[in-house]
Amino acid sequence: MARQIFTSPQEAEQAFYEAFQRADLDAMMAVWSEDDEVWCVHPGGPRLAGLERIRESWRRIFSEGSGMRFQLREQQTMRGAMLAVHSVYEIITLSGERQPRAAVISTNVYLNTPNGWRMLVHHASPVAGQSTPAAAAEPPPPPVLH
């Protein structure tokens, strides 16, 4: 079976979130680079390195069924000829619910390969200082570091 060629990092990102919403493991892994130098961090989880560990993590998540819907907000992107970095707020709503359940900030890194754009890194973290899910629509102000 031929893998889909994503002609832009935006196409790869759209396929990533569609696979996530459908809980489709094959579609999810089709977005990832075939190189074993890939990393994934799920909210509150450890850094997973390598395709097999990443595949197993998605298999476990998807075994609970689909039901998550994503609204992406505050998208920021940087793109070069070979590498693209996307930072997005994921506003997550569970099926059958009207109010968002959680907000997560994710960094997704894509590589332009001979087979199209592929994900190298997905790092997701809960939004800090979120008082209610509705507050996730607007990101909190950044902390003062100095």
The CATH code of the domain that includes 55 is: 3.10.450.50
Looking at the domain assignment, is residue 77 inside a domain? yes
Looking at the domain assignment, is residue 121 inside a domain? yes
Q: What is the mean pLDDT of the chain?
A: 85
Q: How far does Cα 26 stand from its chain's mean position?
A: 15
Q: Is 103:126 a contact under the CB 8 Å cutoff?
A: yes
Domain around 82 = 9-127
pLDDT at 23 exceeding the cut of 70: yes
Domains contained in the chain, number: 1
Q: What angle (nearest 5°) sits at the alpha carbon of residue 16, between those of residues 111 and 110?
A: 10
The closest alpha carbon to 58, from 83, 34, 93, 30, belongs to 30
What is the torsion angle, in degrees rounded to the nearest 10, for the CA atoms of residue 53, residue 94, residue 21 and residue 52? 0
Looking at the domain assignment, is residue 146 inside a domain? no
* pTM, to two decimals: 0.81
CA–CA separation, 49 and 117 (whole Å): 19
Looking at the domain assignment, is residue 1 inside a domain? no
CA–CA separation, 69 and 10 (whole Å): 18
Looking at the domain assignment, is residue 84 inside a domain? yes
pLDDT at 22 exceeding the cut of 70: yes
As a whole-number percent, the residues of the chain with pLDDT over 90 amount to: 56
Q: Can you say whether the dihedral through the CA atoms of 34, 23, 95, 126 is positive or negative?
A: negative
State residue 46's pLDDT score. Answer: 95
pLDDT at 37 exceeding the cut of 80: yes
pLDDT tens string 53-67? 999 999 999 987 667
State residue 140's pLDDT score. Answer: 46
Looking at the domain assignment, is residue 91 inside a domain? yes
Looking at the domain assignment, is residue 135 inside a domain? no
Looking at the domain assignment, is residue 54 inside a domain? yes
Q: Is 106:88 a contact under the CB 8 Å cutoff?
A: yes
State residue 95's pLDDT score. Answer: 74
pLDDT at 134 exceeding the cut of 70: no
State residue 91's pLDDT score. Answer: 87
The closest alpha carbon to 86, from 52, 124, 32, belongs to 124
